[in-house]
Structure 1
Amino acid sequence: MQTDARDIFELATLVGQDLKGRGLILATAESCTGGGVAQAITEIAGSSVWFDCGFVTYSNASKMRLLSVPAEVLEQHGAVSNETAAAMCAGALRNSLASVALSTTGIAGPDGGVPGKPVGTIYFGWAYGDVTQVERMQFDGDRRSIREQTVKHALRGLLELLASRK
């Protein structure tokens, strides 16, 4: 089975198995997914062993307050950017007991798109040890579909980062 075809529950289960096997703890920092990644994680029985917390920071003010995202990053690059996704990961690690973090920030729609960042533009961050990876993706569909695709991609990206660090 292709990783892309796996459902959210299966992806979250694989994330949990990998994190638990390594003795690692995860924190999430979410904007456009509104806690969808944390919900997927906590669907897995026993996730309290490898999941510390999830930050849902929908506003810029909450990104600054809860995740210590610098105001300059938000002013210069916007909330929907690689720089903000990376800063959200760093803040999740700094403000939790986690050793691994992931972040999502983007435009799920149906409106809010701007030139260069249309609806469906999502930025991801994944951090583990001294490695932080960011990625921009463009998803199609309605709000629900974009958010679901975002949760799946966030979990797949975390699995890929962990696999690269074996």
Structure 2
Amino acid sequence: MSELASSLIDALRRRNQTICFCESLTAGLAAATLAEVAGASDVLRGGLVTYATDLKETLAHVPAEVLAEHGPVSPVTAREMARGARKVCGADWAVAITGVAGPDPQDGHQVGEVWVGLAGPLWTASSAAAELVEHSRGRFALVPGAPEPVRVLAGDRAAIRASAVEAALVGALTGVREQKQSEDR
């Protein structure tokens, strides 16, 4: 994962841009992973650990209506976490991670359901973490109310958290590169 972190740092450094994190289930692991690479201080502004739902509102400024309607584990919440962290930390980019690491489901969400939010200079988006990592790191789960099985991260709590960090770094690197490509057109 250090190669992925190095690539993200290099991509941001080339653009003279910064990044921050807003982490729930990973509790600072993504920011720490980036900080393990020499030169991270050139781009890493910091981050928020919003493990408790109320901190998503008070620290990351996720609107109370979003949390009431969508809950803490949703693509909408992930986007709002990223949007809020970007503003609070004064970074060009923000990555948010929210989900269920287990060992038990939470409020109708399966273990391994993780969402990655990304807020950049031009747009904000979210993705299922299981769609950002190697196929073998995911599995399908039956989710109450869903018409078909949903792809989630596989493994125990530690594996899910590690995969969530990888997904966050992949998502951020993809976003930074895609923005650069659209600027070059």
> Above 0.5 in TM-score?
yes
Match of 1:33 in 2: 26
Match of 1:111 in 2: 104
Q: Please list the CA deviations of residues 70-118 of structure 1 after superposition, one character each: whole Å capped at 9, or x if unmatched.
A: 1111110000001110110111111012010100000000013444x21
Q: Please list the CA deviations of residues 100-154 of structure 1 after superposition, one character each: whole Å capped at 9, or x if unmatched.
A: 0100000000013444x21000011111112112012310110000001111111
Aligned partner (choices 118, 124, 128) of residue 120 of structure 2: 128
Q: Distance in 1 between matches of 2:77 and 2:58?
A: 14
Matched, 1:22 2:18: no
Aligned partner (choices 172, 176, 182) of residue 158 of structure 1: 172
DSSP 3-state at the match of 1:67: coil
Q: Distance in 1 between matches of 2:156 and 2:107?
A: 17
Q: Distance in 1 between matches of 2:107 and 2:59?
A: 26
Q: Distance in 2 between matches of 1:93 and 1:126?
A: 9
| C-alpha RMSD of matched pairs (Å) | 1.0
Q: Distance in 2 between matches of 1:105 and 1:43?
A: 22
Alignment of 1:1-166 (within 5 A): 8-115=1-108, 117-136=109-128, 137=130, 138-166=152-180
Letter of the aligned partner of 1:121 in structure 2? E
Identity of aligned residues (%): 37
DSSP 3-state at the match of 1:53: strand
Structure 2 unmatched runs, 5+: 131-151, 181-185
Match of 2:143 in 1: none
Q: Distance in 2 between matches of 1:159 and 1:100?
A: 10
Q: Distance in 2 between matches of 1:104 and 1:85?
A: 6
Q: Which has the higher contact order (CA 8 A, sep 6+)?
A: 1
> TM-score, normalized by length of structure 1?
0.92
Match of 2:146 in 1: none
DSSP 3-state at the match of 1:165: helix
Do the aligned partners of 2:74 and 2:98 also contact (CA within 8 Å) in 1? Answer: yes
> TM-score, normalized by length of structure 2?
0.82
Q: Distance in 1 between matches of 2:111 and 2:7?
A: 29
DSSP 3-state at the match of 2:127: strand
When structure 1 is superposed on structure 2, of 124-133 and 96-105 the one drifting more is: 124-133
Q: Which runs of 4+ in 1 moved over 6 A?
A: none
Quote the offset at 1:47 in angstroms: 1.1
Structure 1 unmatched runs, 5+: 1-7
